[in-house]
């Protein structure tokens, strides 16, 4: 893994965490958090999309087989990567009575909505998420369906083909959600394609920008994005696409970090980032709303301890074993078809 990608994933999950921490604190004081309300978290998710797509393009490049063999192995790995911890999270928050947001009341889902959350198809069934961060997982899974085909186009690194597919994704993002809310996930297609752009530019762009400027670049982009979203009065598809394209195109332009201490920290946070993403709201709810803690310091410490426990435990007990299981199954599929 490239150190700068770990830093990008760390930055993304910390944006989501910061947004929800600040919203939680604001709700306790009877107010709301502005002007960053939801903008920081939304940008964090968008950067996840860029990072994930870039990494998956590289993964497909290393994969065995071609065509359906390659695609099937890819789908198996992603299913074992996403579903197990998400299912545990959904069942856990429902059993514990954790609300979708810490400051809201818990509403027990009916059987249909629970099934939609377990299958991660809430955007298709119009079911409410049992936990707010889950909204992005159906979008991610549905985009995965197209990535092997996109990879076959992108691996040639033909600028004309890549430009055409990016413009097609941008047009679909602007038009299709107007036809039906169930096409809402298409609004994020350019964000995923920004990762493909970064992958295609790797090797074509010399990494001339010094590594120390990577995190300041991301910080500056976040500041501009939040300010423009506030001015636009809400989420803006072209602005989201532009921010993601800037990050995707910048990935190969920066030299990789050689700061050992920083790289260890970002690698650790990136490693546990999926658990942080899923479990930070339950941790905030327990520490700030459920337990009888008086001071903000005590609440913050408990939230951090609970989050670390759930995240590290979830990774080593569920996430990592299932990732290894998915890798073994997909490898058997690939080897079996190659043998034929």
pLDDT in tens, the chain (340 residues): 689 999 999 999 999 999 999 889 888 877 666 555 678 899 999 999 999 999 999 988 887 666 677 888 899 999 999 999 999 999 999 999 999 999 999 999 999 999 999 999 999 999 999 999 999 999 999 999 889 888 888 887 788 888 888 999 899 888 887 777 777 788 899 999 999 999 999 888 889 999 999 999 999 999 999 888 877 777 788 899 999 999 999 999 999 999 999 999 999 999 999 999 999 999 999 999 999 888 999 999 999 999 999 999 999 999 999 999 999 998 876 665 444 4
Domains held by the chain: number: 1
Of the candidates 152, 143, 223, which has an alpha carbon nearest to the alpha carbon of residue 190?
143
Of the candidates 285, 274, 288, which has an alpha carbon nearest to the alpha carbon of residue 318?
274
Rounded Cα–Cα distance for residues 120 and 139 (Å): 9
Residues shown for the chain: 340
The separation between CA 135 and the C-alpha centre of its own chain, rounded to angstroms, equals 10
Structural element, H or E, at residue 135: none
Of the candidates 339, 289, 334, 284, which has an alpha carbon nearest to the alpha carbon of residue 310?
284
Residues 180 and 233 sit within 8 Å (Cβ to Cβ) = no
C-alpha gyration radius of the chain = 20
The pLDDT value given to residue 339: 45
Residues 109 and 117 sit within 8 Å (Cβ to Cβ) = yes
Rounded Cα–Cα distance for residues 43 and 37 (Å): 11
pTM for the structure as a whole: 0.92
The pLDDT value given to residue 160: 84
The pLDDT value given to residue 338: 44
Cα angle 46, 48, 52 (rounded to 5 degrees) comes to 125
Q: What share of the chain is helix, strand, coil (3-state, %, to 5)?
A: 80, 0, 20
Q: Which domain holds residue 25?
A: 3-339
Please, which residues bridge with residue 202 across strands? 205
Burial (0-12, 13-18, 19+ Cβ within 10 Å), 116: buried
The pLDDT value given to residue 6: 97
The pLDDT value given to residue 26: 86
107 φ/ψ sector (left φ>0, alpha ψ -120 to 50, else beta): beta
The pLDDT value given to residue 32: 64
Orientation of helix 39-62 relative to helix 237-250, angle to 10°: 50
The pLDDT value given to residue 33: 63
Among all chains, which residue has been given the structure tokens 């549905």? 142
């Amino acid at each position: 893994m490239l150190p700068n990608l770990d830093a990008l994933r760390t930055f993304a999950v910390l944006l989501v965490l910061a947004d929800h921490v600040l919203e939680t604190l604001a709700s306790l004081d009877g107010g709301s958090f502005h002007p960053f309300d939801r903008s920081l978290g939304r940008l964090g998710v968008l950067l996840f999309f860029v990072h994930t797509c870039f990494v998956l393009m590289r993964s497909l490049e290393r994969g065995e087989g071609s065509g359906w063999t390659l695609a099937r192995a890819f789908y198996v790995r992603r299913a074992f990567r996403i579903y197990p911890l998400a299912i545990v999270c959904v069942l856990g928050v429902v059993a514990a009575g954790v609300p979708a947001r810490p400051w809201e009341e818990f509403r027990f889902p009916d059987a249909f909505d629970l099934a939609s959350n377990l299958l991660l198809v809430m955007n298709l069934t119009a079911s409410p998420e049992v936990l707010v961060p889950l909204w992005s997982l159906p979008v991610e899974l549905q985009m995965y369906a197209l990535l092997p085909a996109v990879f076959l186009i992108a691996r040639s690194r033909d600028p004309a083909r890549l430009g055409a597919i990016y413009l097609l994704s941008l047009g679909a993002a602007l038009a299709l959600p107007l036809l039906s809310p169930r096409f809402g996930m298409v609004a994020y297609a350019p964000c995923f394609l920004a990762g493909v752009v970064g992958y295609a530019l790797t090797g074509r762009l010399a990494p001339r920008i010094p590594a120390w400027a990577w995190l300041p670049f991301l910080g500056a982009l976040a500041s501009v994005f939040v300010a423009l979203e506030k001015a636009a009065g809400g989420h803006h598809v072209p602005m989201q696409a532009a921010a993601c394209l800037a990050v995707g195109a910048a990935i190969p332009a920066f030299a990789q970090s050689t700061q050992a201490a920083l790289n260890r920290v970002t690698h650790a946070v990136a490693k546990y980032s999926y658990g942080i993403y899923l479990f930070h709201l339950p941790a905030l709810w327990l520490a700030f709303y459920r337990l009888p803690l008086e001071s903000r310091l005590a609440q913050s410490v408990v939230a951090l301890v609970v989050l670390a426990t759930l995240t590290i435990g979830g990774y080593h007990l569920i996430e990592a074993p299932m990732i290894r299981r998915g890798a073994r199954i997909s490898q058997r599929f690939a080897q079996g078809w190659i043998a034929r």
